[in-house]
Amino acid sequence: MIDKKDIEQAVRILQEGGLVAIPTETVYGLAADADNEESIAKIYPAKKNHNTHPLIVHVANKEAISSWAREVPEDAWKLVEAFWPGPLTLILKRSERAKDFVTGNQDTVALRCPSHPLTRELLQSFDAGKGNGVAAPSANPFGKISPTLAQHVKDDLGLASEGGSVDLILDGGACDIGIESTILDLTGPQPRILREGAITEPMMSKVLDKKVEHGAVTDSPRVSGSLKSHYAPNHPLIISSAEDLPGKTQFLARQFKTFGVIAPEKIATRFAPISEKAFSYSSVEDLTKHLYDFLHQLDKLNIDAIFVVPPESSSEAAGVLDRLSRASAKQN
C-alpha cells in the first residue's frame, strides 16, 4: 500500500533541497533534486565520499529524456520502449539542463526510469510536467555494499533526526533485482555496456538488432562501480568453483578459524555444520536478489572470511559474477 502522505513528504523534502532514500527495483538510492546544486553537494558527505562522481538522473517517464539529453539516437527510444521503467541506465549526450554538478563535468548524462511503484509515484509527482528528476547514487557509504533493504540505509547512513545524513527513508521493502542497473553508453559508434546488470547483452542486441559491446573503451574511473574493489565487504571474500571444493574445504579450515558461506543449496547444507553461517541460493536470480543482504549480514559477524560458490557463467549471471569478483578483488 502506497501512503500518499509519505510521497508528499518526500516530494517536499526534495523541493526544499533535502535527501531522500528511495527504493528501486535494483538497490536503494540516495536522491536529491537533479537541478539543485546545493542538494547534490550534500550527497557526497552523506556517502562519506571525498570525491564527486557523475550521478544517474532518475526520471518519471520517457518524455523527460528530451529535457536532459540532446541528439537522442533511435537506439535509445527502442531500448526505452522495451525496458523502461526498469533496470537500464542510458548514457546520452547531455542537454543544457544537465549541469556539471550532475554529470561530473562530462558532456554526457546518465538517465534511468526505475520501476518500483513507490518511487514511480514519487517521480511522477516530482516531475510536475517539467521533466524534473532526482539524481541518486546507491545509498551506501563509498566503497561499501549497496543497500537492498531500508534497514541497510538506516544502519549505514542513518536518519538526520538521529544524527545521520538522510532526511527521509522511504521503505519499499526488499529490492526485487538486488544489484545495480545495467549501464549502456549510447554516445559512441557502438552501444557499449559499462556496467553489467539485469538487462543483459543478448536482450539489448535483440531489440537493437545489432552488436552490443562489453566494457568501457578506456580504463577510465567514470563508472565508480568499475573500481576493482568497489563492492567490498569487511571480510576477505573467497570465490571457489564447486569442483575445487574438496581441496578448498581443507584449505579454509586450516586458514580461517571461522567463516561464512554463500553457495547453492546442496553445497550450503554440507557447509552448515562447519561454518558460522551458511546462506543458500536456488538460482541466479535468487542469488542476485539476496547477495547484498547476505554480505550485509555476514559483515556483522565476527568471522575470518566469506566463502562463495558462484553460479556458472551465463549472460544472466554476468551482473552478479561481476559484483562477486569486485567484492573479492581486495584479497585476490
Q: Which residues bind ligand TXA (CB under 6 A)?
A: 24, 26-27, 29, 53-56, 89, 91, 103, 106, 108-110, 112, 114, 136-138, 180-181, 183, 194, 222-225
| Contacts of 195 by beta carbon, 8 Å cutoff, 6+ apart | 89, 180, 181, 182, 183, 223, 225, 226, 322
Output the smallest distance, CB 49 to ligand TXA, in A. 10
Closest to 89 in 3D by CA, of 130, 58, 122, 126? 58
Compare residues 54 and 311 and give the one whose CB is closer to ligand TXA. 54
Output the smallest distance, CB 293 to ligand TXA, in A. 16
> Residue 53 binds which one of Mg ion, ligand TXA, none, with CB within 5 to 8 A depending on kind?
ligand TXA
Compare residues 33 and 180 and give the one whose CB is closer to Mg ion. 180
Compare residues 153 and 278 and give the one whose CB is closer to ligand TXA. 153
Compare residues 220 and 282 and give the one whose CB is closer to ligand TXA. 220
> Residue 222 binds which one of ligand TXA, Mg ion, none, with CB within 5 to 8 A depending on kind?
ligand TXA
Helix crossing, 4-15 with 117-127: angle to 10°? 50
| Number of CB atoms found within 10 A of residue 247's CB | 10
Of 137-145, 170-178, 215-223, 267-275, the window that binds Mg ion (rule: CB under 5 A) is 137-145
Helix crossing, 74-83 with 201-208: angle to 10°? 120
Compare residues 192 and 235 and give the one whose CB is closer to ligand TXA. 192
Contacts 24+ apart (CB under 8 A), 13-18: 13/167, 13/168, 14/39, 14/126, 14/134, 15/126, 17/42, 18/42, 18/160, 18/167, 18/168
| Contacts of 238 by beta carbon, 8 Å cutoff, 6+ apart | 248, 252, 305, 306, 307, 308, 328, 331, 332
In angstroms, rounded to a whole number, what is the distance separating the alpha carbons of residues 87 and 176?
A: 10
> Residue 18 binds which one of ligand TXA, Mg ion, none, with CB within 5 to 8 A depending on kind?
none
Q: How many residues at the interface with Mg ion, by CB under 5 A?
A: 1
Compare residues 195 and 277 and give the one whose CB is closer to ligand TXA. 195
Asked if 138 is part of the footprint of Mg ion (rule: CB under 5 A), the reply reads yes
Output the smallest distance, CB 289 to ligand TXA, in A. 13
Output the smallest distance, CB 224 to Mg ion, in A. 6
Asked if 24 is part of the footprint of Mg ion (rule: CB under 5 A), the reply reads no
What is residue 210's three-state secondary structure?
Answer: coil
Compare residues 221 and 247 and give the one whose CB is closer to Mg ion. 221
DSSP state of 200: -
- With CB atoms as reference, the residue minimizing the distance to Mg ion is 138
> Residue 200 binds which one of Mg ion, ligand TXA, none, with CB within 5 to 8 A depending on kind?
none
Asked if 200 is part of the footprint of Mg ion (rule: CB under 5 A), the reply reads no
Q: What distance lies between CA 197 and its chain's CA centroid?
A: 9
Asked if 26 is part of the footprint of Mg ion (rule: CB under 5 A), the reply reads no
Compare residues 109 and 303 and give the one whose CB is closer to ligand TXA. 109
Could you tell me whether strands 305-308 and 237-239 are parallel, antiparallel, or unpaired per DSSP bridges?
A: parallel
| Contacts of 332 by beta carbon, 8 Å cutoff, 6+ apart | 238, 239
Q: Is the peptide bond before 273 cis (omega within 30 degrees of 0)?
A: no
Output the smallest distance, CB 7 to ligand TXA, in A. 18
Q: In the block, which residue shows the cell 568453483?
A: 241
Interacting residue ranges for Mg ion, rule: CB under 5 A: 138
